[in-house]
Chains A and B, each alone.
Chain A
Amino acid sequence: MKRALITEAFRSIWKTRSRFLSILAIVAVGTGFFAGIKACTPDMMMTTEEYFKEYNLSDIHLVSTFGFDEKDLAAIEEVDGIVAMMPSYSAELFSDTASSPDTIVKVYSLPLDGDWEDPAFMNRPILKEGRLPQQKGECLVERGKKTPTEFTIGSTIHFRSDEETELSDMLDCDTYTIVGIVESPYYLNTDRGAASIGDGVVDTFVMIPEEHFCYEDDIYTDVHLLVQKPEGLSPFDEDYESLIMDYSERFEALADVRTVARYNEIMDEANAELADAKEELAEGIETQQRELADARQKIADAEQEIADGEREYWDGLQTFQEEIAEAEQELLDAEEELAEAETKLADGEKELQEGWEEYYDGKAQLDEGEAEFQSQKAAAEEGFAQAEAQLAQLKQQLTDAENGAAVLPSLIETLKQQLSQAEQSGMASEAELQMLRDSIKEQEQNLLAAQGAVQQLPPVIAGIETQLNEGRAQLADAQQSLHSAAEQLRQGRKELNEAQKQLEEGRAELEEGKQELADGWEEFYEEKAKAQQELYDAQLKIADGKAELEQAKIDLAEGEAESNAEIADAQQKIADAEAELADVELPEWYIWDREDFGGYASFRDDMIKVDAIAAVFPVFFILVAALVCLTTMSRMVEEERTQIGTMKALGYSEGAIVSKYLIYSISASLIGSILGLAVGFQLFPQIVIGVYRTMYTIPDPMTPFRWDYALWCTLAAIACTAWAALASCRKELRSCPAQLMRPKTPKAGKRVLLERIGWLWKRLSFTYKVTIRNVFRYKRRAFMTILGVAGCTALMVAGFGIRHAIGAIVTRQYGEIFCYDGIVALDEAETEEKDEAVRHILNHELVDSGILALQDSATVSNGQKELEIYLVVPSQQEGLEDYIVLRNRKSHEALSLQEDQVIINEKLSKVMGWTVGDTIDLSYGELSGSAQISAITENYTLNYVYLLPSAYEAVLGQSVDYNTVLMDMTDPAQESRLSKELLENETILGISYASSGNEKFMDMVNSLDIVVWVLIASAGLLAIIVLYNLANININERVRELATIKVLGFYDKEVSSYVYRENNISTGLGILLGLALGTLLEQFALVVVEADDVMFAPDLPLTVFLYSAILTVVFAQIINVIVHFKLKKINMVESMKSVE
């Protein structure tokens, strides 16, 4: 190719840059939209796959109602193809916070030292904020929809269990400090699963160090597994699904074996425990009896002791009283005696006084007597002295005689003894003897003489003596009398003195006695008081003893009662345990694969839906883009017709000439395509995934540049524009150079068909005539406009329509068809228990009314296809319309159940090809039969077969066993309270509320809103680019004409409206076409998206069309504004100069 030609090509790009850019833009939008939308699903998959891989999402999650012991784990690990196994713990607990009491928290274990390389560390937390726990007592929380706002880093969480369980059976600690906020790959959406406590719905999850869990017997509650799978197999692939299905079957088989083994183990253990408990109870009873007997004996002893003590007391009291009385008497006696003594003493003193008086009288007499005596005495004394002297002579004589008479016998005797001794001895001479004998005779004569004197003298002496003595005696007598009187006086005085002394002594004694008495009294009182105190003490002691005894008796009674209660309790417990044991069911293993994880299945379904949408919508863009390119290129070739002619005339080959346009078109589409792809691959997945990120917890989307899509898109775009260039050139090149160099004859004006309808044409104003003729004149451009606008409108109709179709499900299914507020599920039970449960439900203050029904999944078949449906058997026809409305969708005519026929829903009839009067095969559990369809009812989600109990019996041959109560609430805001209170009845299994189904769909609708806005924005962009491009072509092509009317003096506004009118008509037609196309597109999209058990609202409300039309008009107006300014800028002089 010649250099000049290339230069010219690029120069023309620069010169016509706005056209170049418009081709570039439309290609960019077309490819960007197409590739971007197409890339959404793969990007989403890739993002989540990587996410699952990074955070090691388990393939299978096993949960057992009894937990897993070592043997279970060993058995699980032995299953073929298990790559890694993570036994772990979980618990469902409450946490009360100010903002949301009774928050149900799913607590998961987290290995403190989780090895991020270890495949056995599954479902790793994704740290969003804070840090991972490093020690016990720390925990991680999530930022879910229902997570209490108080769960922030640094705050603490307190857990509590429900009444039936002990927190300490699960965890060793109930308070944890939040250190981090995480997400879990296990939960893709906001659904946190079902709980077995509270209102049955888990609100949020918390991860705590594994070490806190303390289930008995080293039981793990959960087992997470990774299975062997081919490298690169997407978890969203069907192969993955079937692979996991295989594993599930294996685990089901394993579960059958393990659960029985485990059951037996548990039963044995429990029975042993029960036996132990019983034994313990028996021992307990024995101990109790013994202890009671002991206690009773002790009480009896104490009673005896108290009785003894009492008796002793009474004895003591008596003794005391007696002794006291005695002592008192004694003291009184002593007092009396003392008084007597005092009297006596007083008498004595009186006597003494008298005595003393007598004495002094006596003394005076005595003194007189003495004086008399003294005088007599002196006289007598003289007579005596004479008598005495005579007498003394005589007495001397007599004494001598007596002496001789007294000594002489003894001398004689001695002499006689000496004579006898001398005679006997013979030795003494006779002289001597005679001498001795003479001495004896002399002596004897002396003796006789002395004796004779002795005999004569005494009477003389005696006479004198007698006289003397008589005198003397008289004197003596007198003296004696005096003496004796004195003596008597003295004696009296002495006596008196003695008496006085005695009296004094008596007084002293008396005083002493008195003192003694006083002392005695004092002692008496002291003793008495002491004794009384003692007695009192004794009394007190007795009273205390009695009180103690009473207490002891009460204690005994209480103790007995208590121990009896304990025993009764223990017995009850044993009975309960026995009953429980009897009720123990086989353990059940729940085998959950990713389908069952939070949001996984709905995420996959959503991705498939996005893919289906992606297959339809971008087609419009591509189509419109292609047409715009074609138009623009042909226009360009037309404009350069003269130049082509010149070139041809200069001898350039056709190829060389065409190459310029090829360069032009290819470079525009290539650059556009690259730009579009670069933006599209980012933008659309970001937006779409962004939308889904509001519903699902997935990381930032990965939006790689997808070379495969890019290549195809670019090739298609290039092919399209290049073909457009070629086709236009070929047409021109067929003409000869001369012809080409002449201006192209302006397109001849032509009458339009409408003009033939004279009456109508005449009525049109001049301007409209012009407009209409123009529209028809520039048919291709009008067609392009119409198509572009139609595409735009159609996309919007589809967007709004899909939104309505899905949104209406919520309002219709849960607002108009299912009018109940909730369904209460009943357990299989005896009739009475069920009746009780039903009463419990219907009598609840929050329940307005209810109807008993059987609702269960069953299967229908039409011979070729089987489909799972829901069987609904209301107990009666009356009042059913308060809960479920059966009606014709179009006419809203109420349908009533026939005695022996069934009503099926619309979607079911469509899927199975059934109409009224057809017979369906129905099988429910073991039962089966066939029934005739009496009517087809409006329904949007799931498939239902409705029949009356009579029909049920007729078809399935058994009476109905109701399992649900459909109910209306008085206050639908109090769902969780109702759940909690209804679940107190054991026959009531659970309550599902219409609102939750409602909410689920509302989420879907909300997310669809964004998709709809994406569609609208894209459609708007498409419309704007197409319209702008066409408007540009329009202006360029007609610049002369427009300049002319400007010269004619048309105001800017008039010039614009001259052009607008055409655009508006095209746009209007485009909108109409778009509405029709959009309806088709919407229907198509719904067919693609619709599942077997969902029917989207098949009608399209006026508003959908209205919104689409209005928005399209808005976009068209935006272009009109741009066109207006473009028109304003047209230079009349310049425009008129050029020659066409």
Chain B
Amino acid sequence: MSYVELKDVYKRYQMGEVTITASNGVNFEIEKGEFAVIVGSSGAGKTTILNILGGMDSCDEGKISVDGRDISKYNAKQLTEYRRHDIGFVFQFYNLVPNLTAKENVELAAQICKEPMDAVEVLEKVGLGERLNNFPAQLSGGEQQRVSIARALAKRPKLLLCDEPTGALDYNTGKQILKLLQDTCRKENMTVVLITHNQAITPMADRVIRMKNSKVEEMRLNPNPTPVEEIEW
């Protein structure tokens, strides 16, 4: 059994009288330590899948197992715990607490885990050893995203979920962030799931899951992922 496995996952939203099916029988699996990229155009249902996988939302049907545990039947509290201990999130808009310094933002996440990494250490790892005590407003977008990644990593999650982490960043910075993620995946043997609409990024992934119309259109393994530096878009 794979590390992460989604089986016939359905998610429907009721908007007034219209039912929107955001996930229409999604099936895929990801192995531990893989760098998986879920790619698809806007509205293809990739964020929904990420939300469900990250325990921020729940599916209506289907089975989701992470590290052998079925999270699809989790209640709110269990989901919170799941998020707390097993998931690291990286958002497009970083979602740092503006009133906290870089270090404090990491600490914010670290303080609620069982065996967190040291905040300073993580920040040094993401290359922000010098900017520990800066507030998000004092950091550039890339730096903020690094803090965001550090915050996710500090928890030692089972999964690192990234929702368009480069969406708000310029090309170079974006690349650096992707590199950081790839490196983390490689060095820490971290399972990373990245969502993007950018097809160009797919070569760097171990596994590419292509979504369309709320379904997985294609899933393929990439035996030889390209290093980020070599990717251009």
Binding site for B on A (CB under 8 A): 745-750, 766-767, 769-770, 773-774, 777, 1040-1041, 1043-1052, 1054, 1132-1133, 1136, 1139
**Binary contact track B132-146/A, C-beta < 8 Å → 1, others 0:** 000111100000000
Set B77, B107, B108: member contacting A1045, Cβ < 8 A: B108
Tell yes or no: B41 within 8 A of A by CB.
Answer: no
- List residues of chain A with CB within 8 A of the CB of B14: none
- List residues of chain A with CB within 8 A of the CB of B3: none
20 A-B residue contacts at CB 8 Å?
A748-B98, A749-B101, A749-B137, A766-B107, A767-B111, A770-B104, A1043-B95, A1044-B91, A1044-B97, A1045-B108, A1047-B54, A1047-B56, A1047-B95, A1048-B112, A1048-B155, A1049-B109, A1051-B77, A1133-B56, A1133-B57, A1136-B91
Task: Give the shortest distance, in Å, between B8 (CB) and chain A (any CB).
Answer: 21
- List residues of chain B with CB within 8 A of the CB of A1046: 80
* A770 x B135 contact (CB < 8 A): no
Tell yes or no: B93 within 8 A of A by CB.
Answer: yes
Q: Say whether, besides A1049-B84, A1132-B56, A1133-B56, A766 and B99 are in contact (CB < 8 Å).
A: no
Binding site for A on B (CB under 8 A): 51, 54, 56-57, 77, 80-85, 87, 89, 91, 93, 95-101, 104, 107-109, 111-112, 135-138, 151, 155
Please report the C-alpha to C-alpha distance between residue A339 and residue B86 in the assembled complex, in whole angstroms. Answer: 175
* A1047 x B100 contact (CB < 8 A): no
- List residues of chain B with CB within 8 A of the CB of A748: 98, 135, 137-138
Please report the C-alpha to C-alpha distance between residue A750 and residue B98 in the assembled complex, in whole angstroms. Answer: 9
* B136 x A749 contact (CB < 8 A): yes
Please report the C-alpha to C-alpha distance between residue A771 and residue B136 in the assembled complex, in whole angstroms. Answer: 17
Please report the C-alpha to C-alpha distance between residue A747 and residue B99 in the assembled complex, in whole angstroms. Answer: 8
- List residues of chain B with CB within 8 A of the CB of A1052: 80
- List residues of chain A with CB within 8 A of the CB of B138: 748-749
Please report the C-alpha to C-alpha distance between residue A1046 and residue B151 in the assembled complex, in whole angstroms. Answer: 14
* B135 x A749 contact (CB < 8 A): yes
With A749-B137, A1136-B95, A1139-B93 known, 12 other A-B pairs at CB within 8 A are: A749-B136, A766-B104, A773-B99, A773-B100, A777-B99, A1044-B95, A1047-B56, A1048-B84, A1048-B151, A1049-B109, A1050-B112, A1136-B91
- List residues of chain B with CB within 8 A of the CB of A777: 99
Which 4 interchain pairs have the tightest Cβ spacing? A1049-B84, A749-B135, A748-B137, A1049-B83
Task: Give the shortest distance, in Å, between A1131 (CB) and chain B (any CB).
Answer: 9
* A1045 x B97 contact (CB < 8 A): yes
Set A746, A1043, A1044, A1049: member contacting B112, Cβ < 8 A: A1049
- Among A770, A1049, A1052, max chain B CB count under 10 A is at A1049
Please report the C-alpha to C-alpha distance between residue A953 and residue B136 in the assembled complex, in whole angstroms. Answer: 87
- Among B57, B85, B98, B109, max chain A CB count under 10 A is at B98
* A1048 x B104 contact (CB < 8 A): no
Set B77, B80, B98: member contacting A1041, Cβ < 8 A: B98
- List residues of chain A with CB within 8 A of the CB of B112: 1048-1050, 1054
- List residues of chain B with CB within 8 A of the CB of A766: 104, 107-108, 111
Set B77, B99, B108: member contacting A1048, Cβ < 8 A: B108
- List residues of chain B with CB within 8 A of the CB of A1045: 97, 108
Please report the C-alpha to C-alpha distance between residue A1044 and residue B91 in the assembled complex, in whole angstroms. Answer: 10
Q: Using CB atoms, name the residue of chain B closest to A1047.
A: B89
- List residues of chain B with CB within 8 A of the CB of A773: 99-100
Please report the C-alpha to C-alpha distance between residue A766 and residue B103 in the assembled complex, in whole angstroms. Answer: 11
- Among A746, A777, A1047, A1050, max chain B CB count under 10 A is at A1047
- List residues of chain B with CB within 8 A of the CB of A747: 98-99, 137
* B56 x A769 contact (CB < 8 A): no
* A746 x B104 contact (CB < 8 A): no
- Among B80, B138, B155, max chain A CB count under 10 A is at B80
Q: Say whether, besides A1041-B97, A1047-B54, A1132-B56, A769 and B80 are in contact (CB < 8 Å).
A: no
Please report the C-alpha to C-alpha distance between residue A32 and residue B81 in the assembled complex, in whole angstroms. Answer: 47
Q: Using CB atoms, name the residue of chain B closest to A1055.
A: B80
* A746 x B137 contact (CB < 8 A): yes
Set B56, B77, B96, B99: member contacting A770, Cβ < 8 A: B99
* A749 x B56 contact (CB < 8 A): no
- Among A770, A1044, A1048, A1052, max chain B CB count under 10 A is at A1048
Please report the C-alpha to C-alpha distance between residue A1047 and residue B161 in the assembled complex, in whole angstroms. Answer: 11
Please report the C-alpha to C-alpha distance between residue A749 and residue B54 in the assembled complex, in whole angstroms. Answer: 28
Please report the C-alpha to C-alpha distance between residue A1136 and residue B54 in the assembled complex, in whole angstroms. Answer: 14
Please report the C-alpha to C-alpha distance between residue A770 and residue B104 in the assembled complex, in whole angstroms. Answer: 8
- List residues of chain B with CB within 8 A of the CB of A749: 98-101, 135-138
Please report the C-alpha to C-alpha distance between residue A1048 and residue B105 in the assembled complex, in whole angstroms. Answer: 11
* A774 x B57 contact (CB < 8 A): no
- List residues of chain B with CB within 8 A of the CB of A1048: 83-84, 89, 108-109, 112, 151, 155
* A750 x B84 contact (CB < 8 A): no
Please report the C-alpha to C-alpha distance between residue A777 and residue B137 in the assembled complex, in whole angstroms. Answer: 13
* B109 x A770 contact (CB < 8 A): no
* B89 x A769 contact (CB < 8 A): no
Please report the C-alpha to C-alpha distance between residue A1139 and residue B80 in the assembled complex, in whole angstroms. Answer: 24
Please report the C-alpha to C-alpha distance between residue A1132 and residue B91 in the assembled complex, in whole angstroms. Answer: 12
Please report the C-alpha to C-alpha distance between residue A746 and residue B136 in the assembled complex, in whole angstroms. Answer: 9
Task: Give the shortest distance, in Å, between B199 (CB) and chain A (any CB).
Answer: 23
Set B51, B95, B104: member contacting A1133, Cβ < 8 A: B51
* A750 x B83 contact (CB < 8 A): no
Task: Give the shortest distance, in Å, between B218 (CB) and chain A (any CB).
Answer: 26
* B80 x A1050 contact (CB < 8 A): yes
Please report the C-alpha to C-alpha distance between residue A747 and residue B136 in the assembled complex, in whole angstroms. Answer: 10
Please report the C-alpha to C-alpha distance between residue A774 and residue B138 in the assembled complex, in whole angstroms. Answer: 17
Please report the C-alpha to C-alpha distance between residue A516 and residue B183 in the assembled complex, in whole angstroms. Answer: 187
Please report the C-alpha to C-alpha distance between residue A774 and residue B100 in the assembled complex, in whole angstroms. Answer: 9
Q: Using CB atoms, name the residue of chain A closest to B97.
A: A1041
Q: Using CB atoms, name the residue of chain A closest to B51.
A: A1133
* B98 x A746 contact (CB < 8 A): yes
- List residues of chain B with CB within 8 A of the CB of A767: 111
Q: Say whether, besides A1048-B83, A1136-B91, A750 and B108 are in contact (CB < 8 Å).
A: no
- List residues of chain B with CB within 8 A of the CB of A1043: 95
Please report the C-alpha to C-alpha distance between residue A748 and residue B136 in the assembled complex, in whole angstroms. Answer: 8
- List residues of chain A with CB within 8 A of the CB of B81: 1049
- List residues of chain A with CB within 8 A of the CB of B135: 748-750
Task: Give the shortest distance, in Å, between B94 (CB) and chain A (any CB).
Answer: 9
Please report the C-alpha to C-alpha distance between residue A770 and residue B98 in the assembled complex, in whole angstroms. Answer: 11
* B95 x A769 contact (CB < 8 A): no
Please report the C-alpha to C-alpha distance between residue A1040 and residue B96 in the assembled complex, in whole angstroms. Answer: 9
Q: Using CB atoms, name the residue of chain B closest to A1042.
A: B97
Q: Using CB atoms, name the residue of chain B closest to A1045.
A: B108
Q: Say whether, besides A749-B136, A750-B135, A777-B99, A1049 and B91 are in contact (CB < 8 Å).
A: no
- List residues of chain A with CB within 8 A of the CB of B98: 746-749, 1041
Q: Say whether, besides A1048-B84, A1049-B83, A1051-B80, A774 and B91 are in contact (CB < 8 Å).
A: no
Task: Give the shortest distance, in Å, between A593 (CB) and chain B (any CB).
Answer: 70
- List residues of chain A with CB within 8 A of the CB of B107: 766
Task: Give the shortest distance, in Å, between A1093 (CB) and chain B (any CB).
Answer: 58
- List residues of chain B with CB within 8 A of the CB of A1132: 56-57
Q: Using CB atoms, name the residue of chain A closest to B48.
A: A1133
Please report the C-alpha to C-alpha distance between residue A777 and residue B112 in the assembled complex, in whole angstroms. Answer: 24
Task: Give the shortest distance, in Å, between B82 (CB) and chain A (any CB).
Answer: 8
Please report the C-alpha to C-alpha distance between residue A766 and residue B108 in the assembled complex, in whole angstroms. Answer: 8
Task: Give the shortest distance, in Å, between A243 (CB) and chain B (any CB).
Answer: 69
* B80 x A770 contact (CB < 8 A): no
- List residues of chain A with CB within 8 A of the CB of B155: 1048-1049
Please report the C-alpha to C-alpha distance between residue A774 and residue B108 in the assembled complex, in whole angstroms. Answer: 14
Please report the C-alpha to C-alpha distance between residue A1041 and residue B108 in the assembled complex, in whole angstroms. Answer: 12
Please report the C-alpha to C-alpha distance between residue A700 and residue B93 in the assembled complex, in whole angstroms. Answer: 64
Set B80, B100, B101, B137: member contacting A1049, Cβ < 8 A: B80
Task: Give the shortest distance, in Å, between B84 (CB) and chain A (any CB).
Answer: 3
